Structure 1
Amino acid sequence: MKKITVLFLALTVAIMSCNKAAEKTSAGGQPSGRIVYVNTDTLLNNYEYYKDVVKEFENKRFALENDLAKRSQSFQNEVSMFQRRAQAGGMTEEQAKTTQMQLQKKEQDIMLFRDNAAGNLQEEQAKKTDELLTNINAYLKKYNSSDKYDMVIGYSKGGGVLYAKEDLDITDEILKGLNEEYKGSGKKAETPADSTKK
C-alpha cells in the first residue's frame, strides 16, 4: 500500500485551478483570492475511502501470498517425491527426464503466475490511486464552487510547503465532506470475502 501513499504524497502540490478566480485581479494587478491547504498526512489517515482501499489491498496481498505459498509447497512436495523415486530406482531414465521437464514447466508456471498476479495488483493500485485523487479533486471543485479560493495545495511534513499559517488549513472541512460523500455513495472497498471470489 506504500505505492498509493508515495504516489499521493508525491503529488505534494495538488493544484485546483479556478478559471474565474484566476482572472480576477486586484487594483495592483495581482491575482485576488486566497490560497489554502489540506494536510495530506491527516487526510490519508482519516479518509474512510483511503482506509478501505488500504484494507482491500492488504487482504488481496495476503491472499496472493497464501496462494503462492500453497503452490510452492505443492511443487516442493512433487520435487521431493520425484527425487525419492529416482534414487530408489522406481523409474526409467526416460520417465525421469519426462518428470523433470514437467517439474521445470510447473516451476515456470508458478513464477509466471506470481509475476502476473503482482503486475495485476500494481495496475489495480494505480487505478485506485487515480480514483482517490479524482475523488478529492472533484470534491475540492464542488467545495470551491463559489470561487472563494484560487488554489488548494497539499501539505505534508517534509514536502514542498515548509510553512503555512494554521488559519489557511481547511483539512477538517474537506475530510468531513469527503467522508460524508463516501458514506452516502454506498461505495465500499471489497471485503476479504469479495476479493477471494475473483
Structure 2
Amino acid sequence: MNKIAKLTLGLLATASVVACNQQGETKSTTATPAATNAVAEAKEDKIVYVNSDSLSEQYQYFKDIRAKLEAKVKKAQSDLQAKGQAYQREVAEYQQKAGTMSATDRQATEERLMRRQQEIQRLDQNASQSIAQDESTEFNKVYTTVTDYLKKHAEEKGYKFVLTYSKTNPAVLYADPASDITKAVIESLNSEYKTTQTAEKK
C-alpha cells in the first residue's frame, strides 16, 4: 500500500493550503477561556494551520476512500496470485510430461504457456493502471470536498493564510498550538460527510 500512502501524504499536504474554523462560532458558548482566546488570536492573526496527519487519521470520508482502495488492491492481488499459481501448476505439469511428448505437442504447449504468461502480465498491468486511476479519481474527490469547505469558511473567518503541519513531512518547523484549527475543521468535515451519507441512503 505504499502507493496509497504516498498519495495520502501528497493530497493532505495540498488540501490544507486554505482552511477555516466553522465550529469556532457554533461551540463558542461552551468553549473554555483558553480555547476562546486561541480562536480569537487565530482570527486576529489571519494565519492558522491544519495538521494533515490528524486529518488523514480522523476525517471519515478520507478513511472510507482509503479502505475502499485498499480492498480493491487486496482483491487484485488475490486474483493475480490465483492466476499465477494456476500458471505455475501448468508449467510444472508440462515439465513432467515434456519427455514423453512429441516435438509438435511440446511446441504447442510452450506457445500456450507463453500466451498465458503474457496474459497474466497484461492483467497485472491493467490492474495497476485501474487502481492508479481510481486512486487519482477518489482522492481528487476528497481534495475537492476539503478545499471547497475550507475556502468557503476561510472567507467567513477572514483567514488570509492557512498552513499545513505534519510531523511526517514538515514544511513548518514550529506551529503555535493557539493557531491550530484542525479539530474544528475535522469535526465540521465529518459532520457534513455524515449528513451526505445519510441523505444518500434515503
Shorter-chain TM range is 0.7 to 0.9
Contact kept, 8 Å, 1:48 with 1:179, in 2: the verdict is: yes
Q: Counterpart of 2:118?
A: 108
CA distance in 2, matches of 1:171, 1:44: 11
CA shift digits 1:119-177 (9 cap, x unpaired): 11012112222222111101112222425211222111241111122111111110001
Percent identity among equivalent residues? Answer: 32
Q: Counterpart of 1:52?
A: 64
Q: Which amino acid aligns with 1:117?
A: A
1:99, distance to aligned residue in structure 2 (A): 1.0
The reply to whether residue 182 of structure 1 matches residue 193 of structure 2 is: yes
The reply to whether residue 38 of structure 1 matches residue 50 of structure 2 is: yes
CA distance in 2, matches of 1:10, 1:171: 13
CA distance in 1, matches of 2:133, 2:149: 24
Contiguous gaps of at least 5 residues in structure 1: 17-31, 188-198
Contact kept, 8 Å, 2:16 with 2:50, in 1: the verdict is: no
Residue of 146, 152, 160 corresponding to 2:162? 152
Q: Counterpart of 2:8?
A: 5
The reply to whether residue 122 of structure 1 matches residue 125 of structure 2 is: no
CA shift digits 1:33-70 (9 cap, x unpaired): 60111111111110101111121122111111110111
Contact kept, 8 Å, 1:12 with 1:153, in 2: the verdict is: no
CA shift digits 1:91-112 (9 cap, x unpaired): 3211110110110011011011
TM (normalized to structure 2)?
0.77
1:15, distance to aligned residue in structure 2 (A): 3.8
Is the alpha carbon distance of 1:126 and 1:183 closer, same or farther for their aligned partners in structure 2, counting shifts above 3 Å? same
Contact kept, 8 Å, 2:12 with 2:56, in 1: the verdict is: no
Local SS of the residue matching 1:186: helix
Q: Counterpart of 2:73?
A: 61
Contact kept, 8 Å, 1:35 with 1:151, in 2: the verdict is: yes
1:178, distance to aligned residue in structure 2 (A): 0.4
Q: Which amino acid aligns with 2:178?
A: D
Q: Which amino acid aligns with 1:151?
A: F
CA distance in 2, matches of 1:124, 1:13: 22
